[in-house]
Amino acid sequence: MSSLRNAIQRRAHKERAQPEARKKFGLLEKHKDYVVRAKVFHQKEETIRKLKEKASFRNPDEFYFKMINSKTVDGIHRPKPEANKYTQEELMLLKTKDMGYILQGIQSEKKKIERLSSMLHELDNKRPNKHVYFAEDREEAKEIESRIEQKSSSLGLDKIPSRIKRKTASSYRELEERKQRVQKLEKLYADMALQKELKKPGRKRKLREDEIENQTSQPVYKWRAQRKRIND
């Protein structure tokens, strides 16, 4: 009987839409929408209840150092800025480590560029196959020569598969991107090296453009010569 009951076609009951008079209130809320809204509402109620309970059990004499080392900005706790957290020696050591990391990246990129350039150079300058042909007379030699020319013209760029062309073009794009990356890293390394030297003790001044022999886009500084004492 159950199979017969399921075989009878039943009417599909649809949820009613928003009446015409209430169109201004938007879509009519369905039961599944109400379930989601009610779940969120009860979650907020539970959160508020836990916070009230936590506040009621709080010790009014409680103290910890974050109370005086931070402040509230727009309802968010923000710690006070630590201006002199590191000494000059520690900052110099951190700067040296950063420079070593960048130098390692430059060397790695240059090796990849060299390997990629050699691979593309071999593809562009592929050695042709050398064959020795023997002919009985001049007519046969001309015939062989014309056949070789036809064969070489048929093996042009048009005969290269599109997959190989796309891969070669992608390799050239990668080569250019790596070269640009090396230029940026070298510029960053030079700037960091300059900042490191400027933090060293000693009197120095920035040279004017007319004082620089080899013009460069980077600023040039000159340190005052100091006499060093030699201990006997």
pLDDT score, position 159: 60
Q: How many domains does the chain have?
A: 2
Q: Looking at the structure, do residues 160 and 74 belong to the same domain, yes or no? A: no
Residue 188 lies in a domain: yes
What integer best gives the mean pLDDT of the chain? 79
Which band of pLDDT confidence, cut at 50, 70 and 90, is reported for residue 36?
A: very high
Residue 22 lies in a domain: no
Q: Looking at the structure, do residues 107 and 216 belong to the same domain, yes or no? A: yes
Q: Looking at the structure, do residues 116 and 165 belong to the same domain, yes or no? A: yes
pLDDT score, position 49: 96
Q: Looking at the structure, do residues 95 and 208 belong to the same domain, yes or no? A: yes
Residue 64 lies in a domain: yes
Q: Looking at the structure, do residues 210 and 166 belong to the same domain, yes or no? A: yes
Q: Looking at the structure, do residues 55 and 122 belong to the same domain, yes or no? A: no
In this structure, are residues 219 and 206 in contact, taking their beta carbons and an 8 Å threshold?
yes
Q: Looking at the structure, do residues 144 and 115 belong to the same domain, yes or no? A: yes
Q: Looking at the structure, do residues 127 and 54 belong to the same domain, yes or no? A: no
**Residue 43 belongs to domain spanning:** 29-78
Q: What would the mean pLDDT of 187-207 be, rounded to a whole number?
A: 78
Highest mean pLDDT among 29-33, 67-71, 77-81, 93-97: 29-33
Last residue of a domain, one of 78, 96, 115: 78
Q: Looking at the structure, do residues 47 and 109 belong to the same domain, yes or no? A: no
pLDDT digits (tens, 9 = 90+) for 205-226: 777 777 777 777 677 777 777 7
Residue 141 lies in a domain: yes
Q: Looking at the structure, do residues 33 and 122 belong to the same domain, yes or no? A: no
pLDDT digits (tens, 9 = 90+) for 123-157: 666 555 567 777 777 787 778 788 777 766 555 54
Residue 83 lies in a domain: no
Q: Looking at the structure, do residues 148 and 214 belong to the same domain, yes or no? A: yes
Last residue of a domain, one of 78, 112, 135: 78
pLDDT score of 182 more than 70: yes
Residue 186 lies in a domain: yes
Threshold 0.85, pTM exceeds: no
Residue 17 lies in a domain: no
Q: Looking at the structure, do residues 39 and 94 belong to the same domain, yes or no? A: no
If you write DSSP's letter for every residue of the chain in order, what string do you get?
-HHHHHHS-----------GGGGGG-SPPPHHHHHHHHHHHHHHHHHHHHHHHHHHT--TT---THHHHEEEETTEEEEPP-TTSS-HHHHHHHHHHHHHHHHHHHHHHHHHHHHHHHHHHHHHTPPPP------SSHHHHHHHHHHHHHHHHHTSGGGS-HHHHHHHHHHHHHHHHHHHHHHHHHHHHHHHHHHHHHTSSS-EEEPPGGG-SS--SS--EEEPP-PPPPP-
Residue 14 lies in a domain: no
pLDDT digits (tens, 9 = 90+) for 39-57: 999 999 999 999 999 989 8
